A and B are shown apart, each in its own frame.
Chain A
Amino acid sequence: MSVLSPAPRAAALAAPKRVLLVGNPNTGKTTLFNRLCGLRAKTANFPGTTTDLRQGRMQVGRPGGASATLEIVDLPGLYSLELDLPESRVAAQAFAGADGVAPPAAVVVLDATNLNRHLMLVGELVARRVPFVVALNMIDLARRRGLTFDLGRLARALGAPVVPVAARSGEGVAALIAALADIVSGAAPPGVAEMPRATDEPLEQWAERIVVASVGGARAVGAETDTMLDRLDETFTHPIVGLVIFHAVMALLFWTIFALATVPMDLIETIFADLGGILEARLPGGAVRDLLVGGLIGGVSGTIVFLPQICLLFFLITLLEDTGYLARAAFVMDRLLYRFGLPGYAFVPLLSSHACAIPGILSTRLIPDRHDRFATILVAPFMSCSARLPVYVLLTSFLFPASPALAGLAFTGCYLLGAVAAMGSALLARRTILPGKSRPMVLELPSYKWPSLRVAFANALEQGWAFLTTVGTVILALSFVMWWLSAYPKAAPPAAAVALAAQAQELAPSDPQAAASLVEESDRLALRHQQEESFAGRLGRAVEPAFAPLGYDWRLSIGVLTSFAAREVFVSTLAVLVGAPEDGDEAGVLERIQSATRDDGTPMFTTATALSLLVFFVLAMQCMSTLVTVRRETRQWRWPLLQFAWMSGLAWCGAFLAYHGLHALGIS
């Protein structure tokens, strides 16, 4: 086998060389990528294309030889480089060296159990004269099915080294790396393939010829009748049974996320509260301390607290996808989504949007039809993302303080309202601005298998990191801005507060307890005055008329206004505005928000106000990062602007209806 080759050139290789990892969907390409690059992968914009691809680095070298750094790029799974499909165009650009860096080599991942079809992609690479190594993946499975390979014959026919690997167990990966090192260093010059011509039909015959010559037992594959598999497929895609199973799986998925995520979330909140306490105690009072405790700690904890849910959702989605179930579920959803003008391909993007709309929107890239894709992008932010959770938690607990069950039901209602609004908007869009029917689903169904924890873990880490770097920075910046807006300009304490403080001083020797409560009251008055006079207070009053019909006072208005940048700042904004207690105790904050009063002394939150706010937050487009992402993906400002106007308009109307509807029913 060509893995055994002379020692590589001893030239030190400075700049990392790019190696493209390419293969059909469901060949275990990503598992192999993780084997090669470990967990250090990042998703980055690929130069010369507008697509984010997973990239990772690895060292290759042999004992006594030079080592080189390789940049491995994980191309999306594709059937052919020449199709008019997004993934094919991206891969073709990468092979052409669209950014001026032509790849010196490629690793083609083939499914050993299905060589015929997968070899067609190899034929295209041969035609492009890219040196490559063939990773004959799932070799363990192929052996179990009774397939035998004449590797030497196969390597000669393809003009490239062929390394049998099992990416899931790690078998053969070392040999693959060695073969790759030889190709990249030029130690193993590519052979000459028995070349096909470049149109489809001969390529198929070429693949067939090679398989007949070098694979034994091929007749056994595909001839077996797997009734178990048929039964599972039939059950999972059944119009009724399939739908029931789908809902059960989704309920389990979200229940697991909520049940498991609370532990790390509570831990994160406690750690940051302690950290704030320590800083508060150690640092001298003043603007710097306020900035660190109020702005930085508040902002960072408000960002990181979402991480457990996002990571968990992606971990579980990846696990589900790996089992092969999601491909079947996509057909169940296709029947439903089709009625609203969305393709079945939109299912995974919409599911991911429940964690965060940004990765959801990015994953729409693999939706083949442009109108289908734009419709999906438009409605994805209606899905209740994890940033809405704190607001849902806050408001549903205000609505039903005595009944956690009803609060839970209201919580579920929020998710449902978002999904219904999404479907309705999609239907409207397909009748107006994005006319046409969605493209019917054609999807390869991967075989069922045990999911790989390793792949799921890697993906969860990657998505979490992407969230921190893109969204986290925005939230952090906004927390600073909000803190500054509410802290400046500094206002002198009002006369009433000064009088109370003086009174307290007089009382202090005789009745320290009464004095302390007077000081507290004085501080509260001073803080409230400060808020009213601050930039945030003035801004809140300016926008109050727009939100007054929904039942919001200036504080709630400013809360809503700031959450247009990122909705997760709503709770922290209110906490700042109603004045958080010194120890930063979470329960204390929520109680204070709930019992906060308006300027006229009436409660800030009534049932009608809470419901109106809840509806507003379900429907409104309140995420700058998503808008920027939509602009980047659609390459036009009109789509994010339309999305913003439509969602926020709908939110205003929905909140108005909720508020006045409750009033009409006699509930205020």
Chain B
Amino acid sequence: MADLRGGATVRLSELAIGRAARLHAVVLEPGEACLLSAMGLVTGSRLVVRVAGDPCIVEVRSTRIGLARSVADRLQVVAEAVRGEP
């Protein structure tokens, strides 16, 4: 499961609903990766998980992006700490 304190690198598909994270690395073919980046999912961008599962729906700025599970599996993110946690 995702580390609730944040900081560790996990797969996007492991994050629970409502968790915010920063995109750390993209393990995808160049064609798929460039589409993601054009949609605003670039390394370092902040995203919030809106719906977990398949598809995984994330919000980047004010855009909602649906990702098939196999894509969400290959996005490495650094989760932000949950409010109230150190």
Which residues of chain A have a CB within 8 Å of any CB of chain B? 79-80, 83-85, 113-114, 116-117, 120, 200-201, 204, 221-222, 229-230, 233-234, 237, 239, 327-328, 331, 334-335, 338, 344, 368-369, 439-445, 447
Contacts and interface: CB of A to CB of B under 8 A. Distances in A.
B42 A114 contact: no
Interface of B: 17, 30-32, 34-40, 42, 50-51, 53-55, 57, 59, 61-71
Contacts of B61: 114, 116-117, 221-222
Nearest to B34: A83
A222 B53 CA distance: 21
A441 B66 contact: yes
14 contacts: A80-B34, A83-B34, A83-B35, A200-B37, A201-B42, A222-B61, A230-B17, A237-B51, A237-B66, A440-B67, A440-B70, A440-B71, A444-B66, A445-B64
Contacts of B32: 439-440, 442
Contact of B57 (A200, A222, A445): A445
A440 B68 contact: yes
A335 B36 CA distance: 20
A444 B65 CA distance: 4
B66 A222 contact: no
Contacts of A200: 37, 42
Given A234-B51, A334-B68, A440-B69, 6 more contacts: A85-B34, A230-B50, A239-B53, A331-B55, A442-B66, A445-B65
B22 to A, nearest CB: 14
A116 B64 CA distance: 14
Given A83-B35, A442-B35, A442-B36, A334 B62 contact: no
B contacts with A: majority SS = mixed
7 interchain residue pairs of minimum CB distance: A79-B38, A440-B68, A445-B64, A222-B62, A440-B70, A331-B55, A441-B68
Contact of B39 (A222, A233, A327, A444): A444
A369 to B, nearest CB: 8
A90 to B, nearest CB: 15
Nearest to A231: B51
Contact of A204 (B31, B42, B71): B42
Given A200-B37, A368-B31, A442 B51 contact: no
Contact of A442 (B30, B54, B63, B67): B67
Contacts of A369: 31
B39 A117 contact: yes
A200 B69 CA distance: 26
A225 to B, nearest CB: 8
Contacts of B17: 230
A80 B55 contact: no
A233 B54 contact: no
A116 B45 CA distance: 12
**Which of A84, A369, A443 is most buried by chain B, counting CB atoms within 10 A of its CB?**
A443
A439 B36 CA distance: 13
A37 to B, nearest CB: 27
Nearest to A324: B64
B86 to A, nearest CB: 23
B39 A114 contact: no
A445 B62 CA distance: 11
Nearest to B45: A204
B83 to A, nearest CB: 12
A443 B40 contact: no
B65 to A, nearest CB: 6
B57 A237 contact: yes
A430 B35 CA distance: 24
Contacts of B68: 331, 334, 338, 344, 440-442
Contacts of A233: 50-51, 57, 64
B26 to A, nearest CB: 11
Contacts of B40: 116-117
A204 B61 CA distance: 13
Nearest to A369: B31
A90 B85 CA distance: 49
B38 A334 contact: no
A328 B57 CA distance: 10
Contacts of A120: 38
B35 A114 contact: no
B25 to A, nearest CB: 15
A366 B70 CA distance: 21
Contacts of B63: 114, 117, 444
A83 B33 CA distance: 10
B65 A442 contact: yes
Nearest to A88: B38
B38 A83 contact: yes
A447 to B, nearest CB: 8
Given A233-B50, A441-B66, A222 B59 contact: yes
Contacts of B37: 200
B47 to A, nearest CB: 10
Given A114-B62, A230-B17, A79 B57 contact: no
A221 B66 contact: no
A79 B31 contact: no
A113 B65 CA distance: 16
Nearest to A120: B38
Contacts of A204: 42
Contacts of A444: 39, 63-66
B34 to A, nearest CB: 5
A117 B47 CA distance: 14
B19 to A, nearest CB: 13
A120 B40 CA distance: 10
A98 B35 CA distance: 24
Contacts of A368: 31, 35
Nearest to A236: B51
Contact of B51 (A116, A117, A230, A440): A230
B51 to A, nearest CB: 5
**Which of B50, B61, B63, B69 is most buried by chain A, counting CB atoms within 10 A of its CB?**
B63
B62 A85 contact: no
A47 to B, nearest CB: 27
A338 B69 CA distance: 12
Contacts of A117: 39-40, 61, 63
A331 B53 CA distance: 12
A344 B34 CA distance: 19
A623 B70 CA distance: 38
Nearest to A211: B61
A327 B63 CA distance: 13
